[in-house]
Amino acid sequence: MNFYMPAKVYSEANCVMNHSVELAALGTRALIVTGKNSARRCGAFGDVTAALEEHGVTWVEFAEVEENPSVETIMRARTVGCKVKADFVIGIGGGSPMDAAKAVALMMKHSDADWPYLYDKSAETSTLPIALIPTTAGTGSEVTAVSVLTRHDKKVKGSIPHKIFAQLALVDGKYVSSAPASVLANTTMDALCHLYESYIHAKATDYSRMCAEQGIRVWARSKDVILGKRAASAEDFQNMMNASTMAGMAIAHTATSLPHALSYRLTYSAHMAHGKACGYFLAGYLKEADPKAVRHILKLAGFESIEELEAYYVKTCGRDAVPQEILAQTVQEVLGNDAKMKLPPFAVNEEVLTRIAGL
């Protein structure tokens, strides 16, 4: 067994300003990679720029990262970063800007390479320094080595083969305090999928399950907020973020499993939010796993059964009707991917995938 989590994590209120010295020490000119609005709206962008300016570090913003960022977006950001001679990258946002920031830092380091470098398994993986500030409580990208990008040429999204960790992760619950209820529901469902998929995984170890189990406990503290049973406190928002970060640590060691593998087609073709798409397959996945292990992790989150978990998903995220042809397509895509088929700790064939997909 091994446990490798090289990102330095600070998790607290006013996190960015409290650790501005370490943020500014990453370089002299930052490329800030964000989406169009959310980083500014939640206050994270203002905190980051104030922290940099306090220490004389200049910055340039690339605010064009779309949901499920494309290879084309990465290359545009690389062009901007190289043009202004940025020497480190800061990603602010949910999984999309943070994943994009990792890929941009890779391509800026290898500024002469064209986009296929992103998918070259034999290529060298050094990057510019990276700091990540999450503004959603779902992906855990601030502590994973994963960068998920969209390939429009293949009409699919998936992880690039390079393993890229940030040097610094700054986690502050206030950045999710203004998020709409639907965003909180979808992103915290993503975190729960990370936790459950990591626990029910062929690569699970005592160390990865340590992160998963505690992450589930922390996730459960704010479950009633997502259900609308009570108003959220500052502690709830920090708990949501911490659960997401712990979930990221867990999947950094195991990867995700079949719910995520099956979800990408729903995201691309059915335009379903990522966490909601993963949650679509979670109950089906757990039904195939060891009942004792499933009972354990359900209880940690306060669920009495898989049916209660599914009811939670329907109430908070909604269960959209997905065209049968999209579900059949994602089953066939995963069936043809040997690496994905080896992720669960149980035997998988077309019949199993079909049950998980609800076909």
CA distance 208 to 168: 21
Other C-beta atoms closer than 10 Å to the C-beta of 190 total: 31
Q: Which amino acid is at 118?
A: L
Query: Other C-beta atoms within 10 Å of 109: how many?
Result: 16
Q: How far is CA 159 from the centre of its chain?
A: 11
What are the structural domains of the chain? 8-174 (3.40.50.1970), 182-357 (1.20.1090.10)
pLDDT of res. 294: 98
pLDDT tens digits, one per residue of 177-196: 999 999 999 999 999 999 99
Contact 287, 310 (CB under 8 A): no
Angle at 13 between CA 9 and CA 15, to 5 degrees: 45
CA distances from 189 to 118, 146, 238, 306, 329 (A): 29, 19, 16, 15, 23
* pLDDT score recorded for residue 248: 98
Q: How far is CA 73 from the centre of its chain?
A: 18
- Beta bridge mates, 168: 8, 131
Threshold 0.75, pTM exceeds? yes
Query: What pLDDT does residue 85 have?
Result: 98
For residue 49, the model assigns a pLDDT of 98
Predicted confidence at residue 264, as pLDDT, reads 92
**What was the pLDDT predicted at 155?**
81
In the prediction, which pLDDT does 157 show? 80
pLDDT score for 1:
81
Q: Which residues of the chain have pLDDT under 70?
A: none
pLDDT of residue 125: 96
Rounded Cα gap, residues 303 and 196, in angstroms: 13
- Asked if residue 274 lies in contact with residue 169, where contact means CB atoms within 8 angstroms, the answer is no
Tokens of 57: 């570090």
Output the pLDDT for position 342.
Answer: 97
